[in-house]
């Protein structure tokens, strides 16, 4: 009788352990990263801490004044290329008016002329993103790191140089290095934010819309 009771207890313990393992396994199976291959994600965001604006300098004989304009607009069209890697075509447009003064020496003494420089920069590039969803398990969150290159086409309408101003065109290539995340509000829509180095912005926030996703949110 004692042996029979012992066998029953052992069988009950094994059954409970199997149920716990099955529950754990099912919980792990339910978890999946939000990033998916072959999806297309469109992102629109606004940039802050514009390097063009803050690094604007004037030579001797000129003095800085205020800057007016709008924040940079950034667009991304991203394709889920392979496993945890997506590739995006990026575009940004940056425009502001830089005001400065130039001091002249005339027959009646020094006088000041007020000048404005209308700055415009259109940038396009290619960026690769590595999605960290398999390493960072946060519901509805798609964290990533990105690296790429941007080609910038810049125009100054009155760039100060020497003792005069002139139209200046500039073409540069700059790196894109950022970390960020999307937080999904639904299967399709998410809020977006990133931080790092990009010529038009160090920090940007916006919205994303995803197409052709097959896995719903949990």
User: How far is 214 from 218, CA to CA, in rounded Å?
Assistant: 12
Task: Answer for the pair 86, 131: CB distance below 8 angstroms, yes or no.
Answer: yes
- The CA distance from 197 to 71, in Å, is 16
Average pLDDT over residues 201-207: 95
Q: What is the pLDDT of residues 10-29, one digit of tens each?
A: 434 444 444 444 444 444 44
CATH 2.40.160, domain 50-211, yes or no = yes
Average pLDDT over residues 106-115: 74
Beta strands in the chain (DSSP E): 40-48, 62-69, 73-82, 85-106, 109-131, 141-161, 164-184, 189-197, 203-211
- The tens digit of pLDDT for each residue in 46-82 reads 999 999 988 888 888 888 888 888 899 999 999 999 8
Banded model confidence at residue 31, pLDDT cuts 50, 70, 90: low
Place 38 in a pLDDT band, splitting at 50, 70 and 90: very high
Radius of gyration of the chain (CA): 28
Q: List the chain domain ranges.
A: 1-29, 50-211
Q: Which residues 6+ apart lie within 8 Å of 133 measured at CB?
A: 33, 34, 35, 84, 141, 142, 143
Judge whether residue 5 has pLDDT over 90: no
């Amino acid at each position: 009788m004692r042996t029979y009771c012992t066998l029953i207890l052992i069988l009950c313990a094994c059954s409970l352990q199997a149920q716990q393992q099955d529950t754990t396994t099912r919980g792990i199976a339910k978890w999946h990263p939000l990033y998916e291959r072959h999806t297309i994600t469109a992102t629109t965001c606004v940039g802050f801490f514009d390097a063009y604006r803050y690094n604007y300098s004037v030579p001797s004989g000129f003095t800085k004044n205020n800057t007016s304009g709008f924040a940079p607009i950034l667009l991304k069209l991203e394709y889920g290329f392979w496993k945890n890697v997506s590739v995006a075509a990026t575009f940004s447009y940056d425009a502001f008016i830089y005001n400065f003064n130039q001091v002249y020496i005339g027959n009646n003494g020094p006088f000041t002329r007020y000048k404005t420089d209308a700055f415009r920069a259109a940038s396009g590039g290619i960026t690769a993103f590595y999605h960290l969803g398999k390493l960072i398990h946060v519901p509805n969150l798609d964290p990533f790191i990105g690296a790429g290159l941007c080609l910038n086409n810049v125009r100054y309408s009155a760039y100060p140089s020497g003792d005069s101003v002139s139209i200046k065109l500039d073409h540069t290539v700059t790196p894109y290095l950022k970390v960020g995340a999307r937080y999904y509000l639904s299967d399709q829509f998410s809020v977006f934010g990133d931080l790092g180095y990009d010529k038009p912005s160090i920090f940007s926030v916006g919205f994303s819309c995803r197409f052709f996703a097959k896995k719903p949110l949990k």
